[in-house]
Homo-oligomer: A and B are copies of this chain.
Amino acid sequence: MASKQFDPASGTRDFLAGELRRRERVFAAARGVFERYGFEPLQTPAFERLETLTGKYGDEGDKLIFKILRRGEHEASGEADLALRYDLTVPLARVVAAYGSRLPSPYKRYAIGPVWRADRPGKGRFREFTQCDVDVVGSRSPLVEAEVVCAGADALDAMGVTAYTILINSRQALNGLMEVYDVPAELAPAALITLDKLDKLAPAQVVAELVEGRGLAQATASSLVEDLTAEDAVARMRKVLADHEAGRVGLAEVDRLLELAGPHIGQERIRFAPSLVRGLDYYTGAIWEVTAPGMPGSIASGGRYDHLIETLGGPDLPACGFSLGVERILGILMDGDEGAAVIDVAVTVMEEEHSTEATRLVGGLRRAGLTAEVYLGGSRKFAKQLKWAADRGARFAILSGPSERTDGVVTVRDMSSGEQERITVSDVFTHLMNRCAM
């Protein structure tokens, strides 16, 4: 029966019950945490006007936007006027611009929803995937970073991610670092992108790339990499940065965040990581990334981005956010699959004339709050209906034939033990509510 033609479109997925329930449980865990923090949910449309999205993600990003063809007489033009959202941040900027003072200030919002990117599909890379973001727009208080980091960490805990480390750095600290090591200002941005690879490449490779690819002096590249990879890298960095204006400001940002969020998160799970860069150049203050054992790269990341909302077309408001890589996180948690649903009671229908009674029974069970199903197939064979009850994961089955009806009872079968008991029809709801509550 299965054939390529019935597969979902390339890079997209159908979620059947087991997988969907697992995903929803993980999202609900995050949602519960964000609500407890007073973040408000926001849901924006799947598509935006094309001009809202283009030019916001760089040339490479723009190519990955799914564009929607104009309709009616304009369809033949081959032009697009709408596009599927690429992330949850541009819609946030638009909402902040559109609703202004009708939003609380600061505006603490969370959003969990699909985004679409025309990336080449691959293992763990999809064209439709879910993002999960918390952001605070409109406050420069360092408490904001702490709120956002603690909310993200609590969400990871609630989702069931047991081991992770939050690495903290600051844009200012990185600027200071470049100045301390005499990296010319024009070479600094590219040099930082190379330094960010210290978690993947050998130190010598990074030095080589800094010299050959980025144009740094050999001595500069060597001492920079040596200091950043030393056993006591953090101490060395604290020392050199403290001597420098931008470095001091950056260190203070990092320390304030460690001081505010550390006690809540656990000091062993959050630390200063002087070589953490984060590729995106819109960050302006503290930045962070969450790593988990056995996962290359990060499972979540964020930082302060005080001018991005304006760049994206919104008002000039400071902002800070944390994005949890829920698709990757679901990958880590993969072992806990839900499997088939478990229902409380399966009601068999051994004779056509018994349908009305079966409907009444199953309706009563549902009213009593139980998950109950009635046999909808065509077979009147006992064995077949029992197999159906077992396949549905039923804890109990109700059987009723002529002898039961004569006596005004039904037979209740415990599907795990096979034990059967005859119960008066008027008692069966209470009987099963009690047994299912155990």
Closest-by-CB residue of B relative to A140 is B378
A341 within 8 A of B: yes
Return chain B residues, CB-CB under 8 Å to A71.
Answer: 63-64, 66-67, 118
- Candidates B109, B260, B370; contact of A36 at CB < 8 Å: B370
Question: Is there contact, CB below 8 Å, between A98 and B2?
Answer: yes
Bound complex: CA A22 to CA B366 (Å): 25
Q: Which B residues are in CB contact (< 8 Å) with A100?
A: 1-2
Please give me the residue from chain B that is nearest to A66 by CB atom: B68
CA distance A40 to B15 in the complex (A): 11
A154–B24 Cα distance when bound, in Å, is: 23
**A232 contacts the other chain (Cβ, under 8 Å)?**
no
From residue A262, how far is it (CB to closest CB) to chain B in Å? 10
User: Could you tell me if B374 and A143 are in contact, using CB atoms closer than 8 angstroms?
Assistant: yes
Does B72 contact A63, Cβ atoms closer than 8 Å? yes
Query: Chain A's interface: helix, strand, loop or mixed, by majority?
Result: mixed
Which of B3, B103, B366 is within 8 Å of A37, CB to CB? B366
Question: A278 CA to B333 CA in the complex, in Å?
Answer: 46
Q: Report how far A261 CA is from B78 CA in the complex, Å.
A: 51
Known: A9-B49, A36-B371, A80-B69. A43 touches B63 (CB 8 A): no
* Contacting residues, chain B, for A134 (C-beta < 8 A): none
A264 to B42, CA, bound (A): 38
The distance in angstroms between the C-alpha atoms of A94 and B359, with both chains bound, is: 30
Contacts of A78 in B (CB 8 A): 69, 76-79
Q: Does A430 contact B (CB under 8 A)?
A: no
- Which residues of B are found within 8 Å of A48, using beta-carbon distances? 8-9
Whether A9 contacts B47 in the complex (CB less than 8 A), given A69-B68, A366-B36, comes out as yes
Interface residue? A144 (CB, 8 A): yes
Interface flags, A298-331, vs B, CB<8A=1, else 0: 0000000000000001110000000000000000
* Residue in B38, B98, B139, B263 whose CB lies within 8 Å of A341: B38
In the bound complex, do residue B12 and residue A47 qualify as a contact, i.e. CB atoms below 8 Å apart? yes
- Enumerate chain B residues within 8 angstroms of A116, measured Cβ to Cβ: 46-47
CB atoms of A141 and B104 under 8 A apart: no
B63 contacts A261, CB within 8 Å? no
Q: Give A106-146 as 1s and 0s: 1 = Cβ < 8 Å from B's Cβ atoms.
A: 10110000101010000000001000000010011111101
A289 within 8 A of B: no
Cβ of A391 within 8 Å of any chain B Cβ, yes or no, is: yes
A41 in the interface (beta carbon within 8 A):
yes
Chain B CB count within 10 A is highest, among A38, A80, A136, A360, for A38
Contacts of A185 in B (CB 8 A): none
Contacts A41-B21, A69-B80; A391 near B104 (Cβ below 8 A): yes
Interface centre among A80, A143, A146 (most CB of B within 10 A): A143
Known: A359-B146, A360-B264. A42 touches B16 (CB 8 A): yes
Closest chain B residue to A146, Cβ basis: B359
Residues B261 and A141 in contact, CB atoms below 8 Å apart: no
Q: Which of A353-395 contact B (CB under 8 A)?
A: 355-356, 358-360, 363, 366, 369-378, 391-392
Residues of B within 8 A of A5 (CB): 313
Q: Which residues of B contact A128 (CB under 8 A)?
A: 45-47
The 5 closest A-B pairs by CB, nearest first: A78-B78, A12-B45, A1-B100, A6-B98, A38-B373
Inter-chain pairs besides A36-B371, A68-B69, A68-B84, 17 sampled, C-beta below 8 Å: A6-B95, A8-B44, A8-B98, A13-B45, A14-B42, A16-B103, A36-B369, A37-B373, A38-B371, A47-B84, A66-B68, A66-B69, A67-B68, A143-B349, A143-B374, A154-B366, A264-B363
